[in-house]
Structure formats: C-alpha cells, structure tokens
Structure 1
Amino acid sequence: MFAKKTKNISLVIELIEEYDFKIRWPALKLITNLLRNKPKDIQDGILASPMGVSRLVDLLADGRDIIRNDAILLLVHLTRGNANIKKIVAFENGFDRLLEIIATECYCDGGVIVEDCLIVLRNLLTNNNSNQFFFKEGSYIQRLIPFLDVTEWSGHRSNNFLFFLQVIRALVSPSNPQQVTSACQKVMHSSGILKRICDILSTLGIPSDILTEAINTVAEIIRGNDHNQQYFSSLEAPVEPPKSLLVLLVMSMVDEKQCFDLRCAILYCFECYLFQNEFIKDQVVQTLLPNAPETSSVTLGQLLCGGLFSNDPLSNWFVSTALSHTLIGNNILKEQLLKVQLATEGKTTSTSLMEQCCSLLHSYSKHQTRIGLLMFLSNWLSDCPVAVSHFLQIPSNIPFLTVQLGNMEDDDMDVLISGLSAFLLGICILNNNDSVQSYTREDLLESIMKRVGLDIFLDKLRSVSKSEKFSSASQKPQIKILKADQLIFDYEFCKLFRTLEASIVKSVQNNPEDSVNGPESKMSAEQNRLLMQLIREQDESISSLKDENTSLKNQLSELEELTATNQQLHDQIALLKHQLHQYATTNQQLHDQIRHLESQLHQYATTNQQLHDHIALQEAQLHQYAATNKQLHDQITNSDIP
C-alpha cells in the first residue's frame, strides 16, 4: 500500500536529505527494506522522484560509516535488473565512489564492505553495454589491479577475490557486444591483469573454487582474441622439466581424480583458446598427425588421444568435446584428422582415429562415453563428404546406428543416444558423395524406410532438441552443471544440431522409390538433358544466392555492430540529458540562492548604512561633549579659587 503512491517514495528520499542521523539513518533503512520486498515498484518510484537516484548515490560520501555501509547495501538492491538506474548510478560517479571505498578498505583485506561494493559493481556492469564502455573508457579496469596482490586465502579474502573475478567476467562475457568485449580484453592484457591471473593458475596452494573461477575468467579474457590466445599458448608452468601451462591444464582435465567443476572450467578454457582461431586449431591437430615433430614432453595430441582410451566416461566426454572444437568450421582439418594413426594395445598395426572412435562407440556401454563420441563424429562428418566416406567404409557403423534407432527403451539416456544416432545417420545422407557402393544416399534412405520407418526416425531425431538437457546446454558456452552424470550436451553441438535438423528432415522425407521409378525415369534423353541443364542452372542460382546470403550476413553483422554503437550513443545522450536536467535544476536553485543572498546583502547594506549614520551621529555628539568638557576644564583652570 505504501509503494502504490510514488509521493511516499519521494517523501522518504527527501528525509534522507536531512543530515541528522536520527532522521537519515531510519529513512535509509526504510527505503532499503522497501526495495527488498517490492523492488520494481520502489525502483520506479525512485526514478520518478527528482534527483532520487543521485541523492541515494550521494550517501556513499557520508562520513559516518554506518550510513555509508547501509547505502552500499541499498545500492545492491537498487541496481538489480533496472538498466536506467544502472546508467544513472554510473554517471553519478558511482564507479569512482565505490572504488574509493574499496581502496580505503584495502581491497581483498576489506571484509564484507568490499564484497558489497563488488556486488554493486557487478550489478552495474552485467548486461549493460554503456556502463561497460564507460568503465573501460574511464580507466577503471586498471584500478582493480590491487585485488591481485593476495598472498593469503582466508575466508573474506577468498570471497572478495571471487567477486573481483566476477566483475572482470562481466566485462568480457560472451553475451556482450563483440566490440565492447574486444576493447576490454585488450585492456586486460595491456594492464597485466591477464598475466597476473594466469600466474595464479600455476601457483600451489590455491583453493579449488578460486582456481576454477580464475580458469573461467582467463577463458573469457582470451575467447576470440587472437593476441590474448597467442599469449596464453606461450605460457609455461614453473615446473621441472618446464611444461606448457595449457598442457598442464589438459592433464588435469583428463585426470579423473580432479574435481568436476575444475575439469569443466579447463574444458571451457580450452574451447575459448580455440574459438575463432584457425591457426591455433591447426597447431592442435598437427600434434595428432603422424608427421608431428617429436618432443621429449607430452603433447596436447597425446593427452587428447589418451583420454579416448580412458575407462573414465567423463574423460571420454571431455576429450570428445575438445576434439570437436578443433574442427568447428574447418573442413581442411576434418580431412587431416583422417590421417591420424593410433597404436592400440594388443595390435601390431596402428588404427586410424576414425576406426578407434567407432570401435569405442560400439564397445563402450557407458552413456556419457557414447554421447560424447556421437557428438564428436557428428561434428567431424558434418559438411565433409570425405569423412562421411571413411565412416561408411567401416562395415559395422550403419548396422550399429540402425540398431540404436530400433531401441525402444524409455530411459532418457537411451532415447538421447537413439536421437543422436539418427542425427549422425542423417549427416551421412546429407553429405554422401556415393563413393561407397554399398551405402549410397538411396541405400541409406531405403534402409531407414524398411528397417526403422520414417516416423520413428523423425521422432528419434526430434527427441534430442525437445530434451530439457539440450535446452539447458544451448543457453551459454560455459558448462553449468552441478553433477557429473548430468553432463550430456555441448553448446557448439547444440548449434550444429539446430542448423542441420531441418535439412535432415527434408532429405529423408523424399521417397526413395520416387527417385528411382518416378516420372524422370520415363523421360527421353533430350528431356533428361534439358532437366539436367535446368538443375545445373538452379545449382548455379543457388550458389549465387548463397554468396549473396553470405554478403548480406556480413552486412547484417556490420549493421548490428553499428546498431550497438548507436544504442550506446543514445544511452549516453539520454544520460547527458539527464545530467543537463540535473544541472539546470541545480543552476535554478543556485540562482534562487543568489537572489536570496542579494536581498540579504541589500538588507545588510541598508542596516550598515543606518549603523554608519548612527555612529556618525554618536561621534558628532561625542565631539560636542568633548568640546564642552574642554570649555569647562578651561574655565575651572582660569578661575581664581582660594
């Protein structure tokens, strides 16, 4: 009831203007409790109140610690979810005042006060592009560096450092516009923040939660930034003999004794290390190839291949996903990976990586292992007819996939494995160059129709994207799973599945009998020639349209960047207008004060003139009294008194 009237909120804010502790502090507590219980209504009321946000930010400058600390708590609630309030707080010197308090409280040594300040900073920066840009342009990133001077990891220091890392991640989050993220990543490297956090990764005695979050932070600082990725690849861990920091991390990822969260963080870091960097992807694949230069230390390729042979299903999943990320969008590397040869136990001859993956897929019964391998093979075969041909040359592969499609178990994992098998079989149909005589495109379609049934195939395929686990994994690149047995899908695989699902459905819905015995089989040679000519023209037209589509996508990307920049400028203009309005209000108040002072000055001048006249009169009277006194004195002196 209180919050329904915005006038009530304005009254409380006016009371906060009073400096008297017995008025300001209870008013501050009241507005904080209102924000806890009715945040949106109170935020709207504060925005509607003239200078409302500004007055609350000014409380950070109060010399009384209890007022200042409660003002920080108020801002924690005030800055949640309201973009306009976030912008006003930032442009009312909120960043400066919060960082000054943090410095006064000695950064990580500052206890809960610093933690609350960092929460406010995180709120101000998360999903707010204009504040991120303002924070970077104002050189505030450099002012966070003292947080890295931590030598002990007691309770409050660990908490403060974790929140510091969250502030850094808010600036380089994959959900931010690329231009903002790139600018912040550049500052992270030039200021030394990236180096200092990387040093933590190879320091002994770091708590597990700190190490995990530090790895996630490094991942997002290097993601998609060629300069930072190259710097990360050059780092060596301080061990004997020296090892690449990346190799050391991957060793921990495939070590089943390490904690689950840490292993997930390392996989995310590896994915970000490869993201949009074809040169680095090529370097990783080269360590797998037979002609790779021999080294005395273990290589990434050896670690990744070793993870495939592990009896730990989680290691199998991690390695399968890591290998998938080396191939994303690069068909040349997919073909090169076909050359990889592995020496397997009990065999005198080596076997190809493709054969080994298929063998593991057939023999391993663990759901997590099978799902990881199915995702890896799907990535490998997508848009690569040569890889599809190699896959089809292994006689047991198609029968295995067909058996999985016929599995009618109700278990969630079995349903997903059947769906992924349908997806992999669909890719074999889409990218089939008919080079394997026993498994041409028509043969595979006929096999689906006769052995599985079109409806069952489509139901199995669609069951994947309907899964709650699929929806969860497709939200963000970073893995957000609490338990190891819940780790099913990879973010990039979800993108691939959504891209190809419709094409697979379309390809299998064409009746193969129509393709063999349809009207075109009865056409004359001339009609067939004309049809083929028409098809070639359509192919050329489609190719031309694809080129135009690519060009339009590039233009759209540029337009989106310009739109983001335009929005930032609009936000800055809106804030400047708000500030101008505040300055105009302040200016009017100053004019009123000046007029009042001028009136008082005029009164003082009049009073002063009256006093001056009165003093002159008194002086004249005093002069007259002095003259009279002198005359009396002279008379007394001259008189003859006996």
Structure 2
Amino acid sequence: MEYFKSGLKSVLGAPQPGSQPTGAETVEKLVDRVTSSTLLEDRRDACRALKALSRKYRLEVGAQGMDALHQVLEADRADCEIIGYSLDTLCNITSAEKFEEENEGNNVHLNVNVGEQFTEMFIKNPDNVSLVLSFLEEYDFRVRWPAVKLLTSLLTNKPKDIQDIVLVSPMGVSKLMDLLADSREVIRNDALLLLIQLTKGNANIQKIVAFENAFDRLFDVIKEEGWMDGGIVVEDCLLLMLNLLKNNTSNINFFKEGSYIQKLAPMFEIPDNIEEMGWSPQKVSNIHCVLQLVRTLVSPNNPVQITSVCQKNLRNANLLEALCNILMANGVPADILTETINAVGEVIRGNLNNQEYFCTVMAPSNPPRPAIVVLLMSMVNEKQPFSLRCAVLYCFECFLFKNEIGQQQVVQTLLPSTTNSTALTTGQLLCGGLFNIDPLSNWFSSVALSHTLIENPAQKEQLLRVLLATNLGSQPVSLLHQCAVYLQQTNKLQSKIGMLMLLSTWMAHCTPAVAIFLNVPGAMAFLTAQTSANEYDNNEELLQGLCAFLMGICVVFNDNSVQNYSKENLSQLIEKRVGLETYVSKLGEISRHEVYAKAAKQPQIKAKYTNDLLLEFEFCKLFKALEGVIVKTLGAQKQLSNGMTELSLSEQENGLLLQYKDLIRDQDRRLQDSNRELRAVAEERDILKAQLEELQQTNSQLQDQNTLLKAQLSAGAVSLTSENPTEPNVENIENIALQQKLKQLEDENVEKDAELERLRKDQDDLLELLTDQDCRLNTFKNRLRELGENIEDDEDSDNNSAGEPDVK
C-alpha cells in the first residue's frame, strides 16, 4: 500500500499539509496528466494509477477519463504497457459486475447499471469496438488478454449491438477465431467464452465462425483436454458447437459433409468399469452436452432430408450402437439416462433401418429382454422419475413413427397366440398400464397405444380383435368396449383425457370401431352429458371439448349400422341436447386451451409436473385435421333435416328477418366508417412511432448527461463537506447550477413519458371499440346464417362498389 501511495505522489505531486484530496479530485488530476503530459512515462504512470482507482471510483474514472483512455489507445499503441493499462481500466468501468471496493469508496449510490451505461457511451462510435478488435492481433499478453476481457464485458452488456459491429468489422470474426490457437490457456479459454456469447442467436456470425474452421479447432481442443474426461473447457467447446448448429441448417450440412459426425465417436467410449469409477459432475455435464449435440443434428425441426442423412451417418459411425450401450449400462445417472433415451428416439425416428436395429437391442438381464420391453416397464412404473417416463414414451413414439412393421409387431403381442411363451410383451405392458390405478400410467399407455394406430387403418381393425376377460366366468369383451366402460367409471381427469385421445385416434377413419363404441351401454349418454355440462374449470372445459370431438367422430365416420345412433340421429341429438352453437364452442375449447399450443409445437413431451400432461402432439394434428370436417358435416345434416328454411318461415319470422337485414346494413355502414377511422389511427400510429424514436434518442442523450452530472455531483458533494457552509464559494455555485440542470432534465423526461402514455391509451381505447363493434356484427350475421340467409364475408363487403351489403 505504501508503494502505491508513493507512486501516486510521484504522479500527482505531494498534497498540501493538512489536506486530503477526494477520489474525484485525484481522478481529475490523473486524467489531466494523461491528456497533457508529453512524456510517455508520465502518461503510463497516470494510466496505471487510473487502473488502480477504476474499481473503487468507477463512476469518476468512467465519467472523466473515457475520452482520455480512448486517446491513449489511438496515440500510444506502440507501447504495450500503457495500452494494457488502458484496456484494463475500460474493462473495469464497463463491467457488469459490482465491485466490493465501490461500496467502500462511494458516498453516492446510484440505482443504475453503471457498466451498461458506460458500454453504451463507448460503443456509440462503432470504431471504438473495431479499435479494440485490432489489439487482438498483438501477441503480447499485456494487450491481447485485456482486449479479450473488454470485448466480453461489452458483449455481456450490449450483445446485439456488439454482434452487429463485429459482423461488419473487417476480419473481425477471423481475429477472434485466431485466439483459439493461442498457446496460453487463459486467453484460449476466455476466447471460448467470448465466442459462446457472440454466436448466440445470430445465424450470420454462426456461419462465419463455422467456415473459419471452428469445428476442427474445437475438436483439437477437446482432444487435448482428454475428451469426456476433460474439464470445463470441453464443456465450453461443446456449448460453442451447439450454438453453431442449433436452428442453422447450413452449419448442420457443413458438419455432416465435413465428416465431423465420425469425430464424435470417442466421446461415447464408456469404460466397462464405469460403475466402479463413478461419474464426476463435470463428466456428466460433458456427456449431457454431447447428447444435445447429437439431438441437434437429428432434430424433428430440421428439414427431413438433412435429418435422414444425419441418422444414416450416426448409424454408420456406430454412434447409435454406442447410445444403446449407454442406455443398457448399469450405474448411469438418471439425467444422463433420460437424455440418452431422448437421443436414441430422435436417431431412430422415421428411419426404418435404425428402428429395425433398435428392435434387436437386448438388455443384459436374466433372462435377456428386448430393450423396448425394459423401457416400457419403466414407463408404467410409478416409482420411476417423471422425466424418465416421459423420455421412454417419446422414444417409443419415435420407434413407431412411420414404422408399420413396428406398429404391427406391438399389436400382434395383444392378439391370441398359439405359442405358450411366458415372456412379458409390449402389448401386455401397455394393456396393464391402460387400466392401472396410477392415472399417469393410464395416460402414458393410452398415448403409446394410440401411436400403434396412426396412419395405419389395418392395425385399427386388428386391434378390434383384442378380447379381455374382465371377470371370472364372464364373457370376454373387446378392448375398445372396455376402454369405453373405463372412461365412464374413472373419476381421474388425466385418465379420462388419455382414454379420449386413444378412442379418438382409434375411431377416426374406422367405421367398425365407431359401431362397437355406439353399442357400449351408456357411452353416448356419457359423452352427451359431458359436452352439455356447464363447468367452468379450465381442465374440465378441455374434457368437455374432447367429449364433443369424440361425438363428432361418431357422426362423421358413422356407417348407419347402429339403428338408434345413425348419422342423422346423432346430429339431432347434438342439436337438441347440446345445441349446435354450444357444441361448436365446446369443440373450440380444445384449440383455445393453453396445453394445446404447447403440445402442438413439437413431438417431444415436455412437462415440469405430472398434471401438465394432458394433450399430445399427434392428437393435436388429428384434431386440427378433423375439426372443420366435423363442423361442416353437422351443418350439412342440419340443412338436410330442416329442408329449405326460407320457405318455411312464418310471417313473424319474415318480419324479424327484415329487421336483421336492416340492422346488418346499418352495421356494415358503421364498419366501413370504423375502417376509415382505423386507417386514420394507423397513420397516427406511424407518426407516434416516429415521435417515439425521437424521444428515445433524446432520452438516451439525457441518460448520458445524467450519468456525467451525477458523477460530477458526487465529486462536488465530497468537497462541500470540507468547506464552511456559511461561506459561499465557486464550487457551491458548480453544484447549485448542476442540481438545477439535473432537475430540469428529469422534469422533461417525466412530461414526455406522460405524453407518450396518454397517446398509447387513446389508441388502445379506439382499437377496443372497433373490436367490440366487429364482434356484434359477426353475431348478427351468424344469426341470419342460422335462418338460412346467404351473408357475404367482410372481404366481399369491402369490395362492394355500391357501398351497401348484398343481402340475398
């Protein structure tokens, strides 16, 4: 400490006896020395002192010294020592971290992110970032390392801005990539972290990094670090690879064509004694990352051709075999096992060769069992982790996806067999889980069994042959009959929803299945009661929607073979007992439910809690395909039963119809006026948007001034405490003026924010009014359509040159 004090004395000169300079005064003198000294040695000493003060007096150094530091970077770049001090100082003042020294040294605490504010000021001139990038070419450790740290700090605070600047900077990405070849590990490792942040969410940078030989360099680093037994550097390399490949088909193509898939093989080499050796936390993290990397290559979201080639390459590189070995190994941590099951599922999904190979995988049990059977045993076992059970279901779905042979094999295990084999089969496990007391097992088994029937009409009819012995001595009943009975008897919501999805998948496009269901006592009465119920619970509404959907399937795929439940009779039942409007509304509850949006996004089942498992991806596809068909069929049946509606209208109904026509004409005129007002609002919105951008620019400038003013005030506040408050001086008059200016700026900000909020509220009110008017108009039009009127759509009304709707 004494050495540091003596250094400051040599730079600043000895203070007057009895006086102690404040931090702000010290910084001011140092900055003056940096800008005015002619000797390089003096400037270097001043920069070293600023670096030492930049953590404790970050605000003062940043507010007063940023321009001086930039001047040093441009003028003294031949001297590595002073450049290093300047870069370190900039790194400290732009850091997102809050230093302990700041709390000790500052009398004024500001509720602002100081590092972000100084970053914004620094990058307002993009050339500043390009200047820092140029220092990466300097091999001297004192320059290169602080340059990497400064870029990381800037990127942490303003990622999008820095990405854009680096992208247009000449050879900017190339300079960063060269850091991976640096023999000094600290620079190489920090460069990895910098590239991980730089490549997030920016496809253009990802492509440039990939074509700068990134994959080769990363594999070299992973090999040097010891593959999966390596430390956190291996994980960082894999995370960077993930960034380069996720949602980037160009890079995935480059990865598979460059034979990089084969280079993944050493990462899956698991020693035989792994159970005795154990899994270190770092090894678990490394394996988890490489499993995600494999899944990125074969993700269902990728184009089909790319996924198919990657699946083939993974099989040829024996990586599917390696994944299955991990799957069947003992002592594998639960999270690694879960991710491995998901990875195996996506590697075999839709690929017949891989699916056939998976059929041959046997678990090392006594006696040996197929891997599929062992996995399903885990799925229907309520003691297994929830995430693991979800992964098994997803893997089973992937095994059956576009695999008619696999679907047939599963259904075959449920049919009567001539062999007396006592081995547990997939069909027995699914059937047992279907009627288990555990509602989650019911749901899993229902979904799994429904996947044996998707796009396979032959298996739907084969499954109708499955008979179950319910009670001793009683006649066996069909599996579908028992599912319909169980649906009525169970009081568990999740079990009901799973069963309804299975029945809907089974009965869609299968008239024999519909006929069997209609013959089950109480089945239609149950669906009718559920559909017409008035429960307001969110999940109960979903249940009612599913019951309505199954009723609609019974109408659409009805061959009129059941006398009391012909297509016409069921349509009348829906109209009289439920009401067509109510029925359509209940049907729409499915797609309006929040779980529908989540389930329809991707095939993989993702849920945090067991209660979140309600709908499933393939069922959502089925519902989307049939919803319109059901509504159209019911509408056609209604027209058939009612005949020509207009001819049978009474005089009173005709009068009411004329009133509705007049009302619609009036509403159409109002709608046209509203459209004109909406266009005016849109123009006003564009004007407001321009004003908002101007206000944001002004606000940004005011924030910069605000930060500087607060820094100056903090320095002035300290000096005031040492003066006699009763004696006015010049400093008291730097401070009063600044406080008045600061208050004026803050008042301007408040006024502009209030004005902007008022304009936004006016626009929201107008839009709400237009929405309400549009809803009322649609209600009247729907009422007329029910009375048999042919009403034009809104687009036709807008194009009507006569200015009056054509009501026929």
Q: CA deviation at 1:8?
A: 1.9
Q: Is the 8 A contact 2:485 2:523 kept in 1?
A: no
Q: Is the 8 A contact 1:47 1:53 kept in 2?
A: yes
Structure 1 position 266 matched with structure 2 position 386: no
In the alignment, which of 204, 209, 212 is matched to residue 92 of structure 1? 212
Please name the residue that 2:192 is paired with. Answer: 72
For 1:477 and 1:84, the matched residues in 2 are separated by 28
Is the partner of 1:432 in helix, strand or coil?
coil
Q: Which amino acid aligns with 1:80?
A: K
Q: CA deviation at 1:6?
A: 2.4
In the alignment, which of 460, 463, 482 is matched to residue 356 of structure 1? 482
Structure 1 position 58 matched with structure 2 position 184: no
Q: 1:524-535 to 2 correspondence within 5 Å?
A: none
For 1:163 and 1:349, the matched residues in 2 are separated by 54
Q: Is the 8 A contact 1:223 1:275 kept in 2?
A: yes
Q: Is the 8 A contact 2:511 2:557 kept in 1?
A: yes
Please name the residue that 1:11 is paired with. Answer: 131
Please name the residue that 1:30 is paired with. Answer: 150
For 1:40 and 1:21, the matched residues in 2 are separated by 28
Please name the residue that 1:211 is paired with. Answer: 337
Structure 1 position 462 matched with structure 2 position 582: no
Among the aligned pairs, what percent are the same residue? 54
Please name the residue that 1:482 is paired with. Answer: 608
Q: Is the 8 A contact 1:6 1:48 kept in 2?
A: no
Q: CA deviation at 1:346?
A: 4.1
Q: Is the 8 A contact 2:574 2:580 kept in 1?
A: yes
Structure 1 position 285 matched with structure 2 position 405: no
Superposed CA deviations along residues 588-617 of structure 1, whole A, max 9, x for unmatched, are: xxxxxxxxxxxxxxxxxxxxxxxxxxxxxx
Q: Is the 8 A contact 2:298 2:311 kept in 1?
A: yes
For 1:52 and 1:198, the matched residues in 2 are separated by 43
Please name the residue that 1:124 is paired with. Answer: 244
Q: Which amino acid aligns with 1:337?
A: L
Q: Which amino acid aligns with 2:290?
A: F
Q: CA deviation at 1:294?
A: 3.9
Return the TM-score normalized by structure 1.
0.79
Please name the residue that 1:343 is paired with. Answer: 469
Q: Which amino acid aligns with 1:295?
A: S
Superposed CA deviations along residues 549-596 of structure 1, whole A, max 9, x for unmatched, are: xxxxxxxxxxxxxxxxxxxxxxxxxxxxxxxxxxxxxxxxxxxxxxxx
Q: Which amino acid aligns with 1:487?
A: L
Please name the residue that 2:265 is paired with. Answer: 145
For 1:369 and 1:66, the matched residues in 2 are separated by 56
Q: CA deviation at 1:408?
A: 1.1
In the alignment, which of 251, 255, 258 is matched to residue 377 of structure 2? 251
Q: Is the 8 A contact 2:138 2:144 kept in 1?
A: yes
For 1:301 and 1:377, the matched residues in 2 are separated by 17
Structure 1 position 503 matched with structure 2 position 629: yes
Residues 1:477 and 1:293: Cα distance change in structure 2 (over 3 Å): farther
Is the partner of 2:231 in helix, strand or coil?
helix
Please name the residue that 2:427 is paired with. Answer: 301
Q: Which amino acid aligns with 1:494?
A: C
Task: Choose 433-442 or 294-303, whichever is displaced more.
Answer: 294-303
Please name the residue that 2:760 is paired with. Answer: none
Residues 1:292 and 1:335: Cα distance change in structure 2 (over 3 Å): farther
Question: Gapped runs of 5+ residues in structure 1?
Answer: 523-642
Q: CA deviation at 1:213?
A: 0.3
Residues 1:46 and 1:283: Cα distance change in structure 2 (over 3 Å): same
Q: Is the 8 A contact 2:485 2:520 kept in 1?
A: no
For 1:226 and 1:402, the matched residues in 2 are separated by 42
Q: Which amino acid aligns with 2:383?
A: K
Is the partner of 1:510 in helix, strand or coil?
helix
In the alignment, which of 271, 293, 300 is matched to residue 174 of structure 1? 300
Please name the residue that 1:109 is paired with. Answer: 229
Structure 1 position 43 matched with structure 2 position 163: yes
Superposed CA deviations along residues 236-256 of structure 1, whole A, max 9, x for unmatched, are: 111111111100100110011
Q: CA deviation at 1:79?
A: 1.1
Q: Is the 8 A contact 1:430 1:507 kept in 2?
A: yes
For 1:417 and 1:53, the matched residues in 2 are separated by 54
Please name the residue that 1:333 is paired with. Answer: 459
Residues 1:380 and 1:23: Cα distance change in structure 2 (over 3 Å): same
Q: Which amino acid aligns with 1:307?
A: G
Please name the residue that 1:380 is paired with. Answer: 506
Q: Which amino acid aligns with 2:404?
A: E
For 2:285 and 2:400, the matched residues in 1 are separated by 30
Q: Is the 8 A contact 2:548 2:583 kept in 1?
A: yes
Q: Which amino acid aligns with 2:465?
A: K
Q: CA deviation at 1:509?
A: 2.6
Residues 1:365 and 1:347: Cα distance change in structure 2 (over 3 Å): farther
Q: CA deviation at 1:379?
A: 0.4
Q: Is the 8 A contact 1:341 1:351 kept in 2?
A: yes
Q: Is the 8 A contact 2:457 2:509 kept in 1?
A: yes
Residues 1:134 and 1:435: Cα distance change in structure 2 (over 3 Å): same
Q: Is the 8 A contact 1:407 1:414 kept in 2?
A: no
Q: Which amino acid aligns with 2:377?
A: M
Number of residues of Structure 1 aligned to a counterpart in Structure 2: 522
Is the partner of 1:443 in helix, strand or coil?
helix
Q: Is the 8 A contact 2:269 2:322 kept in 1?
A: no
Report the aligned-residue RMSD.
Answer: 1.7
For 1:108 and 1:320, the matched residues in 2 are separated by 39
Q: Which amino acid aligns with 1:203?
A: A
Please name the residue that 2:530 is paired with. Answer: 404
For 2:125 and 2:477, the matched residues in 1 are separated by 76
Q: CA deviation at 1:292?
A: 6.5
Q: Is the 8 A contact 1:29 1:70 kept in 2?
A: yes
In the alignment, which of 568, 572, 580 is matched to residue 442 of structure 1? 568
For 1:258 and 1:347, the matched residues in 2 are separated by 36
Q: CA deviation at 1:27?
A: 1.1
Q: CA deviation at 1:309?
A: 1.9
Superposed CA deviations along residues 196-248 of structure 1, whole A, max 9, x for unmatched, are: 11011111111100100000000000001000000000111111111111001
For 2:237 and 2:201, the matched residues in 1 are separated by 17
Q: Which amino acid aligns with 1:268?
A: Y
For 1:234 and 1:185, the matched residues in 2 are separated by 17
For 1:369 and 1:518, the matched residues in 2 are separated by 44
Is the partner of 2:491 in helix, strand or coil?
coil
Is the partner of 2:636 in helix, strand or coil?
coil
Q: Is the 8 A contact 1:4 1:41 kept in 2?
A: no
For 1:336 and 1:518, the matched residues in 2 are separated by 43
Superposed CA deviations along residues 490-513 of structure 1, whole A, max 9, x for unmatched, are: 100011111111111222233536
> Which consecutive aligned stretches of 4+ in structure 1 deviate over 6 angstroms post-superposition?
519-522
For 1:466 and 1:409, the matched residues in 2 are separated by 16
Is the partner of 1:509 in helix, strand or coil?
helix
Please name the residue that 1:368 is paired with. Answer: 494
Question: Gapped runs of 5+ residues in structure 2?
Answer: 1-120, 271-276, 649-808
Please name the residue that 1:419 is paired with. Answer: 545
Q: CA deviation at 1:4?
A: 3.4
Superposed CA deviations along residues 143-176 of structure 1, whole A, max 9, x for unmatched, are: 1112122363111010110001011111011111
Structure 1 position 275 matched with structure 2 position 401: yes
Q: Is the 8 A contact 1:286 1:292 kept in 2?
A: no
For 2:193 and 2:600, the matched residues in 1 are separated by 34
Q: Is the 8 A contact 1:222 1:273 kept in 2?
A: yes
Q: Is the 8 A contact 2:227 2:234 kept in 1?
A: yes
